[in-house]
Amino acid sequence: MATLINNLCVIGTGLIGGSFCLALKEAGACKKIVGAGRSEATLKKAQQLNIIDSYETEITNAVKDADLIFVSVPLGAMESVFEKISAGLKLAANKKAVVTDAGSSKQRVQQLAEQIFADDATGFNSSRFVAGHPIAGTENSGPDAAFAELYKDRRVILTPTAKTDHAAIKLVKEIWQITGATVETMDAAHHDIVLAATSHLPHVLAFGLVHCLENMEDIEDVFRFAAGGFRDVTRIASSDPVMWRDICLNNRQPILDMMRRYKDELDMLYNALEASDGEKLIEVFQHAKQTRDKFTH
């Protein structure tokens, strides 16, 4: 395929950012990829794995020649990273650079972008920021975990605003499609509610379940005799704790709302079991099976 962009800067070269680079490299979609981040050891590893072509530990320097900047860092680091991007782009000759991200909470990220990339007729402005979220990942992290097929047949949600530049949206959409992803657009507030239900709540429950069991006297037997169901439910508890702390804090209210709904459901099941109410249990279990089968087949 024809090269879509000349210079790509990826800030955060772990599973998400690294897989993004590998997919685009495999497709020949960009000429040069510069990695950036706090850890030089991580960046060196990413270069050794041919994920990036070169690296900069100073984000301000890394973004100066970029046509597209992809931010894949924990949500708690997003504000600081955006500030460094803004400082770098003010010095850049190319004022048409596009910035996008992979954050799992979109309202907070959009607020930061509008605040930090303040409109300025003489330079980069927030209309060139396209908020995005790839619905893909594994419980592993770091450059070693990256692979080019991560986004194949997975969904990526973009949450542009009315002010977002149409050319910038088009570029980001095309780039994601090159990775093999299906791209959809959604309002940021709706995104945060949907992801609280389908991703954030399950991760909180997985962490909570393992934490609940860790102080049992027979914890070794619990894990030794764990079958597939336990492994399936708790697999995501091996995810990056810092990343998930940041997601919870940045999407706090939607997650609290979903936790409250789940708590009410759990109380109902507890009461049914305490009362030996088999009819209620089978009613809930049958409805749950029917709903899952309807939407996953």
Look up the CATH number of the domain holding residue 168. 3.40.50.720
CATH number reported for the structural domain that contains residue 226 in this entry: 1.10.3660.10
Q: How many domains does the chain have?
A: 2
- 175 in the same domain as 202: no
Domain boundary among 170, 186, 202: 186
Q: Are 105 and 234 part of one and the same domain?
A: no
Which of 131, 153, 186 finishes a domain? 186
Pairing of strands 132-134, 155-158: antiparallel
Cα separation of the two ends of the chain: 34
> Does 222 lie in the same domain as 170?
no
Whether 268 and 256 share a structural domain: yes
Q: Are residues 163 and 46 in the same domain?
A: yes
| Sheet of 98-101, strand order | 54-56, 30-36, 5-11, 68-71, 98-101, 129-130
Domain shared by 33 and 153, yes or no = yes
Same domain as 123, residue 166: yes
Question: Do residues 150 and 244 both lie within one domain?
Answer: no
Cβ atoms within 10 Å of 208's Cβ, excluding its own: 12
| SS percent in the chain: helix, strand, coil, step 5 | 55, 15, 30
Is residue 33 located within the same domain as residue 160? yes
Boundary (domain end) residue, out of 130, 159, 186: 186
Residues 196 and 281 in one domain: yes
Check whether residue 75 and residue 108 sit in a common domain: yes
Which residue segment(s) compose the domain that 26 sits in?
A: 5-186
How confident is the prediction along the chain (297 residues), in pLDDT tens digits per residue?
Answer: 667 889 999 999 999 999 999 999 999 999 999 999 988 999 999 999 999 999 999 999 999 999 999 999 999 999 999 999 999 988 776 678 999 999 999 999 999 999 998 765 446 788 899 999 999 877 778 899 999 999 999 999 999 999 999 999 999 999 999 999 999 999 999 999 999 999 999 999 999 999 988 878 777 777 777 777 888 888 889 888 988 999 999 999 999 999 999 999 999 999 999 999 999 999 999 999 999 898 876
pLDDT of 136 reads 87
Closest Cα to residue 192, out of 247, 243, 259, 150? 247
